[in-house]
Structure 1
Amino acid sequence: MADAVLSHRWQITDFGRQHLQHAELPIPQPGPGQILVRVEAASLNYRDLMITDNAYGWTPPLPFVPGSDLAGTVLAVGDGVTRWRGGDRVISTFMAGWIDGAMPPDAFALGGPGPGTLASHVLLDAQWAVAAPQTLSAAQASTLPCAALTAWFALAEQGSLRAGQTVLIHGTGGVALFGLQFARMHGAQAIVVSGAGDKRDKALAMGASHVLARDSDWPAAVRELTGGRGADHVLETVGGANLGRSLQALAQGGRLSVIGVLAGGEIRGSAYDAIRSRATIQGLSVGHRRALEDMVRAIDANALQPVVAAEYHSDQVPEAFAHLEHGAFGKVVVRF
């Protein structure tokens, strides 16, 4: 059934990346309704770093395998599974149990509290996977379940993004760069705010209409660049006081998607700015499986190429986490 005797995985037995350790276990067997996936690539999210360091607000049971995103091949299926068969290329869904519509109360994320993906073999419920894009490598496809779907859900699924609109994007991480690519795909202009000059240059090369320095008066610049109107959509990946400044840059009837908490978990800003702009402020918890399937079709149809900052071999997971912590332009991927 499988192509190896043992499954290899990375786990923590105590909190902190210094406790990441490699382990070998027998390859698991799929039970009823499950699939066994041979992992070819797993991408890292900042959330994985926070959970590993026990800084996420949720304490995982130990030992714990981090990681929520994978791309791989189905090796075997359990009883009753008709959705997949051996040899199918798949990617994971981030929110297990959320198929469409409103998120059910019993849905949960992979990589905490659901199973982690930094392993050579992973058991998934057959409903927790979708067909991988035909146009992407495994490393590229592994970047989609969390970062790409978050940007897609904010802009295309919930935001009804359309040509001619303006998207304000904070940073140059995975969600931000997918937001830039999806904005261009829909004929919208993207304005990127970043603290690093070299990353601003790269964002311009990717097609950003404008790039602004983090320490500048970027809310005023956004209004000037849009003829006083402001941004129709904001991907707010910083949080804290930055959210209040994003409200100042928002157009009438604009949508601000709260995605990240790099500057703190508190929402700080002026209610007057929210009232003035008739703002819709929405928290994002990635998205459902149907939206992921829609996004995969759009990626294939438009030949979108995810930005992979670096690929690390499966014996270099500590180095991959260090790269993630120091800030990456795009996604950090581990190959198995």
Structure 2
Amino acid sequence: MIDTFDQSFLRHLTSVSEPFVKALLLTGPSPDLVKPVSLPDPEKPGRGEVLVRMKAASVNFIDTAVASGLYPGISYPIVPVADGAGVVIGIGEGVTGVKVGHRVAIHPKSRWIAGRPTAERARTMRGVTHNGSLQEFATVPSDTVVVAPGFLDWRHIAALPIAATTAWNALKAAVIRPGSWVVLLGTGGLSLMGLQFAKALGAHVIVTSTSEKKAERVKALGADHVIKTSAGSDWSCQVLDLTDGVGADLVLETIGEATFNSAVRSVRQGGTVFTAGFVSGSRVEVDLMSIITRAVRVIGVNTGSVEDLEEAMAVIASADIRPVLGTELNVAAAADALRGQPGFGKTIIHLDW
């Protein structure tokens, strides 16, 4: 872990004694049903736990899906939003490696510390199965917080858990190295995190975009090529042209139904389609021969482990990577953030109670 200490933590300790703490509660499957509430004063963290004063949160597609009723099995009411960052203000017994004053990202999978996914590890998630980040204080297992480097502010730290973990796992799965070819779809937070990691590894990066303005911005971030697309278009031939007919080593598939087949056609023999999103829908008709005869690896992902986020954070620290931020809203406008705002970079909620 990266030892980064917040010298102002004493100021936060005094507020823990307040009788109630503030939170936002999602009471049903609509952003219009986000309600401000007062929660009981947080208890002293138990063994293996830390108490975190939350400072910022970031929105992922899963959060908008939960808020709109598109994600199955949600028990409302719930404090929404998986990803968040804050300062450690309390330590339980037996906690090592984390100190009061550390600035941390909270990994959303509280039972997936390391290793391969299992049903138990993957299904437990902040903002989905239990309360998430839109609260003043959160008591969490100490082995689910990852200390952030000092050059990142609260917004950047909050933007990392899902996007950095997922993007890093995609690059690892495809064994990306200098000279590899990576295709990223659109300019959301996950794709831009993939761009930053891929360039740090020396890869060539192709980004698809429907916007000329966004294309220019993504080039400024280091994209080698931008393919202009339109809804439903097949861009695989352009990827093949750019890679001299070979195809990409990796397509980080974040869109789903509308783009999946183009992704399969775009990868090289033995290439990887790393599928992490279903923004356009989750039902796809696939030509299996295209996958079988070219030995394409299709890998589904449900984020990753705390250990994966620690690895990603180490790369971020060594390569001086700052996540790309998009829309920033205060906590009073959190419902607007949960409606989903397609844009450039991560949507951030400042927890400015």
Same fold (TM over 0.5): yes
Return the offset for 1:2: 4.5
Among residues 128, 141, 159, which one is paired with 2:174 in the alignment?
159
Among residues 87, 94, 99, which one is paired with 1:85 in the alignment?
99
String of CA shifts for 1:88-117, please: whole Å, max 9, x gaps. 211111222212221243222221113211
**Aligned partner of 2:42: which letter?**
P
String of CA shifts for 1:71-90, please: whole Å, max 9, x gaps. 11111122332342321211
**Aligned partner of 2:164: which letter?**
A
What is the distance in 1 between the residues matched to 2:157 and 2:235?
A: 33
Return the offset for 1:241: 4.4
What is the distance in 2 between the residues matched to 1:63 and 1:280?
A: 39
Return the offset for 1:142: 0.7
String of CA shifts for 1:191-224, please: whole Å, max 9, x gaps. 1112222212211121111111222541101100
1:53 paired to 2:65: no
What is the distance in 2 between the residues matched to 1:55 and 1:303?
A: 36
1:237 paired to 2:249: no
String of CA shifts for 1:247-305, please: whole Å, max 9, x gaps. 11111110000111112112332112112321010001111111211111111111111
- Equivalent residue for 1:113? 129
- Equivalent residue for 1:277? 294
- Equivalent residue for 2:3? none
**Aligned partner of 2:251: which letter?**
V
Return the offset for 1:326: 3.1
- Equivalent residue for 1:268? 285
What is the distance in 1 between the residues matched to 2:221 and 2:95?
A: 41
Secondary structure of the structure 2 residue equivalent to 1:64: coil
String of CA shifts for 1:142-190, please: whole Å, max 9, x gaps. 111001211111113x222101011011111111111111111111011
Structure 2 portions without partners, runs of 5+: 1-12
What is the distance in 1 between the residues matched to 2:25 and 2:211?
A: 33
Is the CA contact (8 Å cut-off) linking 1:39 and 1:122 kept in structure 2? Answer: yes
Among residues 259, 275, 287, which one is paired with 1:258 in the alignment?
275
Secondary structure of the structure 2 residue equivalent to 1:301: helix
Pair 217,242 (structure 1): closer, same or farther in 2 beyond 3 Å: closer
Q: When the two structures are superposed, what TM-score results if normalisation uses the length of structure 2? A: 0.90
What is the distance in 2 between the residues matched to 1:159 and 1:100?
A: 19
Secondary structure of the structure 2 residue equivalent to 1:96: coil
1:129 paired to 2:145: yes
1:314 paired to 2:331: yes
Aligned ranges 1:4-43 → 2 under 5 Å: 4=16, 5=18, 6-29=20-43, 30-43=45-58
- Equivalent residue for 1:150? 166
Q: How many residues align?
A: 332
Is the CA contact (8 Å cut-off) linking 1:169 and 1:192 kept in structure 2? Answer: yes
**Aligned partner of 1:42: which letter?**
A
Is the CA contact (8 Å cut-off) linking 2:25 and 2:77 kept in structure 1? Answer: yes
What is the distance in 2 between the residues matched to 1:109 and 1:184?
A: 30
What is the distance in 1 between the residues matched to 2:300 and 2:234?
A: 25
Is the CA contact (8 Å cut-off) linking 1:231 and 1:250 kept in structure 2? Answer: yes
Aligned sequence identity (%): 32
1:3 paired to 2:11: no
Q: When the two structures are superposed, what TM-score results if normalisation uses the length of structure 1? A: 0.94
